[in-house]
Structure formats: C-alpha cells, structure tokens
A = this chain, B = another copy of it.
C-alpha cells in the first residue's frame, strides 16, 4: 500500500496469450438464469478476447458474469440482472486459455499464478472445518509409534469441565508430559478436594465462601508437601494431577507473577522452569496446546519444527495442535515462527470432548475383531 503503483498490463503479443482463442458466449436460458459453464468474475483486472481483441469489461466486481450487449460492449453484471437470451461469457480458466485472462500478478505480487483467486486463504479461522478424524489419527499413530506427546494446558481446560477428558487421555497413554502453570493444577486440585473451581460448582453456580476455596486447596497441598504426597495420603483421589501422579506422567508447573500460593511443585524461577520444560521439548514428537497463550508461546519457542527420529528415519514435521477460543493466539504463534501449528478455534471443553470421541472411535476401528470362538 503506497501512493505509487506501477501497473504493467499483460503482454498480449507474447505466448501463451498471443495464441489464445476468442472467449465463448452463450445466451441465458431464462431471466436471471445463467447458461452452464458461465465464467464467474473476480475483482481483479480481467481481459476478454472478442474478435481477436482483448478488452476489459466495464464495472468490474466479483461474483458476477460478463455479458455482451447488442453493441458488443462487455459489462460485469449480477446474475439476477441477466435477461433471457443475454450473451454470457463461458469458462472456468483464468489464464487466458479460454479467452479470458485474470491479471493476478499485477495486483497480488509476482509470486501468484493464474487461477489464484480463491476464498478462505487464511489458515486459521473459526469458519474452517476442523478435521477431527485426521487429528485423532495423527494422535493415535503417534501413540502407537511410541512418540512423546507433550500437552501444554491452561486453566480454562479445568474451568470448563474438560477434566474428565484430560484424565482419559492420561490414563490411555496419550500424554508424555504435561506442561502448565500453577493455576491449572490449583483449579484441578480445588475440584478434587472441594468439587468447585474458583468457587463455582460444575454447573456454573457460585457456592458460599467459594472465593476462598482455591486458597484452602493450595494450603492443603502445601501442608501435604507436594501434589504426589497429597495423592499418596489420600487427600486427592481423582483429577488430572492425580492421574499424572498415578500414571507416572511427568509434569512441569512454571511459576508466574500472578500465582496464588504457589503449590509446592511450582518451579518459581523462570529460567529453571524453562530448563525443566526444555528437558521435555527436546524429546517431544507431538505437541498439543490447549487454552493457554503464555505457555503456548513459551513452549512454541522451544520446540523444533521437526522430529529427528532416533532410529535414523527421515525428519518429519513435529505436529503441533493449538486450540484457542480466538484466532489471535494461533496467529501469534505462527507470527513468532511456529509455522507448523495447526489451529483449532473453539472452546477448550468442546474440543476435548469431541477429540476424545474421535480418538475412541479411531481406537475401535484399529481393534481387530475378536476372532469367533
């Protein structure tokens, strides 16, 4: 975007444009109804060859058709305004081979080719379908090959009652390490001890005295000495932290400026916490980030874009799934260099629920039918 712009029309005297045929036209079968194979316009400079001459139709815009009137003039026209019998240009190709040329390079830069105009180029959007079947397959195959799947999770995962699903993934071998902060563990432990998170019941209602319950949970764990000790003593009998301890899955809780407590397990020095996390990221073969901007960017910075298999096999991309409520975190992650991040723009609770459903289905499909006896 600059006040100076130097437009060079295409060279119609050189191949392939010099050899292009005239564009074809066909009459509309009824008012506002187009002939099959109509050419659908873009908003870019467009040239149509008529009787050997390349012409630019008037009134360009996208999602219209090109109509030739009795005088031979060409106009970009809304389909609903085409009269019965109106001559409508035909074609699906934008490279001139059918007599119509869309001049993409002139406006979108030299790296684009013809037939470039398209919708939905942004790679991260709430409007893109999420291919849960593929995500489940990738996750399932990574588990089968014995990879190390690192999860990086924020407290919204616990708020949102996706705890059961996270526990399921831990118990079923899909979690090689869990990286997070004080808050995710505190909320999980408050839920384990008091049945609430930040004083809210699982159906979202506030409870009396609720605002202090996370402080009481922290105090109970501090008294026990550690999360593992609280599990061993029977204080904590379920939940994400309980599942990690009982399944020997390592976790790192990095301290932050906003921590209450913190829990005894928190690594309060940020450099020590980075070292503890990197001990896992150097081994990681797959990463899942759920609902955490701070830790997603932090771990994203630590992760290579690829896996270098120990067995000498070829490099492969290190699949990184990043789930957040808005496009912003995923885009930021890519902006900071984690180009391989596969963004899922949704609510953490729903993501966990649907992903587990698809992984369970993938597992069932892989299970050989029990042989009939």
Contact check, B297 vs A223: say whether CB atoms are below 8 A apart: no
What is the interface of chain A, defined by CB distance below 8 A to chain B? 1-3, 5-7, 9, 29-30, 32-34, 38, 40, 42-45, 56, 58-63, 78-80, 92, 106-108, 111, 115, 117-122, 125-131, 134, 137-138, 141, 156, 159-161, 181, 198-200, 202-204, 206, 208-212, 215-216, 218-219, 222-223, 254-262, 266, 268-271, 273-274, 277-278, 281-282, 293-295, 297-298, 301-306, 308, 314-317, 319, 325-328, 331-332, 334-340, 342, 345-347, 349-351, 353-354, 357
Query: Does B211 lie within 8 Å of A43, measured CB to CB?
Result: no
Measured between beta carbons, the chain B residues less than 8 angstroms from A340 are 1, 107
A329, B43: Cα distance in complex, Å: 19
Do B294 and A211 touch across chains, with their CB atoms under 8 A apart?
no
Q: Is A282 touching B59 in the complex (CB atoms < 8 A)?
A: yes
A357 and B357 alpha carbons, distance in the complex (Å): 10
Please give the distance in Å from A95's CB to the nearest CB on chain B.
Answer: 12
Q: Taking the full assembly, how many copies of this chain does it contain? A: 4
Q: Closest CB of chain B to A78's CB: distance in Å? A: 7
Q: How far is the CB of A138 from chain B (nearest CB, A)?
A: 6
- Across the interface, which residues of B come within 8 angstroms of A308, CB to CB? 56, 60
B34–A298 CB distance below 8 A: no
Cβ-defined contact, A259 with B270, below 8 A:
yes
Is the pair A223, B33 in contact by a Cβ cutoff of 8 Å? yes
- Counting chain B CB atoms within 10 Å of each CB, the highest count among A208, A266, A306, A340 belongs to A306
Whole-angstrom distance between the alpha carbons of A33 and B202 in the complex? 28
Chain B residues with CB under 8 Å of A45's CB are 305-306, 315
Instruction: Contacts A257-B274, A345-B347 given; indicate if A62 touches B354 (C-beta within 8 A).
Output: no
Residues A61 and B301 in contact, CB atoms below 8 Å apart: yes
A-B contact pairs, 24 of them (CB 8 A): A7-B306, A7-B314, A9-B315, A40-B211, A40-B215, A45-B315, A58-B282, A117-B337, A118-B206, A119-B336, A126-B156, A126-B160, A128-B159, A129-B202, A129-B349, A130-B349, A131-B204, A181-B257, A255-B271, A258-B298, A269-B270, A325-B345, A346-B346, A346-B350
Q: In the complex, which residue of chain B has the Cβ closest to the Cβ of A314?
A: B7
Are B118 and A219 in contact (CB-based, < 8 A)? no
Check A120–B43 contact: CB distance below 8 A. Answer: no
| Given A126-B325, A134-B203, A294-B294: A78 and B120 interface contact (C-beta under 8 Å) | no
B297 A258 Cβ-Cβ under 8 A: yes
Partner of A327, one of B200, B269, B331: B331
Which listed residue, B44, B126, B342, B354, touches A306 by the CB 8 Å rule? B44
- Identify which of B38, B111, B254, B314 contacts A111 (C-beta below 8 A): B111
Q: In whole Å, how far is A54's beta carbon from the nearest beta carbon of chain B?
A: 14
Closest to A2 in B: B134
Which listed residue, B1, B78, B129, B294, touches A274 by the CB 8 Å rule?
A: B78
Task: Looking at the assembled complex, report how far the CB atom of A98 sits from the nearest CB atom of chain B, in whole angstroms.
Answer: 12
Residue of B nearest to A199 (CB): B119
How far, in angstroms, from A306 to B44 measured CA to CA in the complex?
7
